[in-house]
Amino acid sequence: MGSTFQEVHLKNRFKEYFQTNATTLKFKANTPKQAIPKRNLKSMTEKTVIAIEDLSFSWTTKQSIGSKKRNPIKPILDIPQWKIRPGQSIFLYGQSGSGKSTLLNLISGILQPQQGTITIGEQTISDIKPSQRDCFRAKNLGIIFQQFNLIPYLSVTDNIRLSQNFSGAEYNHQRLLDLTKRLGLSENILQQKANHLSVGQQQRVAVIRALYHRPKLIIADEPTSALDAETRDEFIQLLLEQNTEENNKEKSSILFVSHDKSLASHFDQQIDINDLNKAKG
């Protein structure tokens, strides 16, 4: 299993190499690269929910067994600058292997960039300790995965309360009931074990969990890929609507990631990851 996984990875990187190379060539030809000042004044004052500067990430290999020193392989991501304003919904498009999963892992603070900064709201996440980063994630991010969103052996309520538990925030039962109602779920599923729910119900519970703690940013990673075409648009509508229904002050930004371009029209802004990522071999 491990070997096939690695093969896929290598293949992906190979593909990526050529793609990114092509875009950089284009970039070089059309617009001469200008020096981007690191954290200029404008970017400090402007309100952003994600601000990425000079970001570079590559997988590393150990020099030799037991050695602490690591050699970078080729870079996967190289993003000079990217900003998302609060309250926007962003559709991030990219085929598999284009580095979008890596980008999401970096934004959520699971992986660390070799270079550059990622700022969520006012917090530059590479500046803080790993444990603080985990707490920050619990407070400020809501993450929806493509399928496996809930801990199967916990009740729906316990699943929704996970990030509240990890961040140490106070439990707001009324908010949980409100969200349940708004998402069209009946109250009596709250005590059920998550694995007794249908896939559709599970995705709705995942939305409740993502919205519950009013995060700055909701990251949705192909949340519709397990749903059929009909329920897919319905689900995106629901996610966006529910987000809009929140008070404007607390409205979360949504970063929706997919390889399915047909979903793009639902969102405020559409971005192709290849336009962001300048990584070359």
Tell me which residues touch other proteins (CB under 8 A). Answer: 1, 5, 8, 96, 101-102, 104-105, 108, 110-111, 130-131, 134-135, 137-139, 141, 143, 145-146, 148-154, 158, 162-163, 165-167, 209, 221
Question: Minimum distance between the CB of residue 256 and other proteins, rounded to whole angstroms?
Answer: 13
**Which of 163/243 has CB closer to other proteins?**
163
| Least Cβ distance, residue 229 to other proteins (angstroms) | 20
| Complex with other proteins: residue 160 or 236, whichever CB lies closer | 160
Neighbouring-strand partners of residue 77: 57
Q: How far is the CB of 167 from other proteins (least distance, A)?
A: 6
Task: Indicate the residue among 102 and 119 with the shorter CB distance to other proteins.
Answer: 102
The full DSSP string for the chain is -HHHHHHHHHHHHHHHHHHHHHHHHHHHHHS---PPPTT-HHHHHS--SEEEEEEEEEEEEESSTT---EEEEEEEEEEEEEEE-TT-EEEEE--TTSSHHHHHHHHTTSS--SEEEEEETTEEGGGS-HHHHHHHHHHHEEEE-SS--S-TTSBHHHHHTHHHHHHTPPP-HHHHHHHHHHTT--GGGTTSBGGGS-HHHHHHHHHHHHHHT--SEEEEESTTTTS-HHHHHHHHHHHHHHHHHS-GGGPPEEEEEES-GGGGGGSSEEEEHHHH-----
Residue number with CB closer to other proteins (195 or 244): 195
Question: Is 154 or 264 the residue whose CB approaches other proteins more closely?
Answer: 154
Listed residue (255, 195, 258, 253) closest to 232, CA to CA: 258
Rounded least distance, CB 178 to other proteins, Å = 20
Q: Identify the CA nearest to 201 among candidates 189, 213, 212.
A: 189
By beta-carbon proximity to other proteins, the closer residue of 139 and 278 is 139
Distance in Å, CB of 34 to other proteins, minimum = 32
Least distance to other proteins from the beta carbon of 37, Å?
Answer: 30
Please identify, using beta-carbon distances, which residue of 169 and 264 lies nearer to other proteins. 169
- Shortest distance, CB of residue 260 to other proteins, whole angstroms? 14
Closer by beta carbon to other proteins, 51 or else 92 = 92
Smallest gap from residue 38 Cβ to other proteins (A):
26
Strand order in the sheet with 269-272: 141-144, 217-221, 253-258, 89-93, 269-272
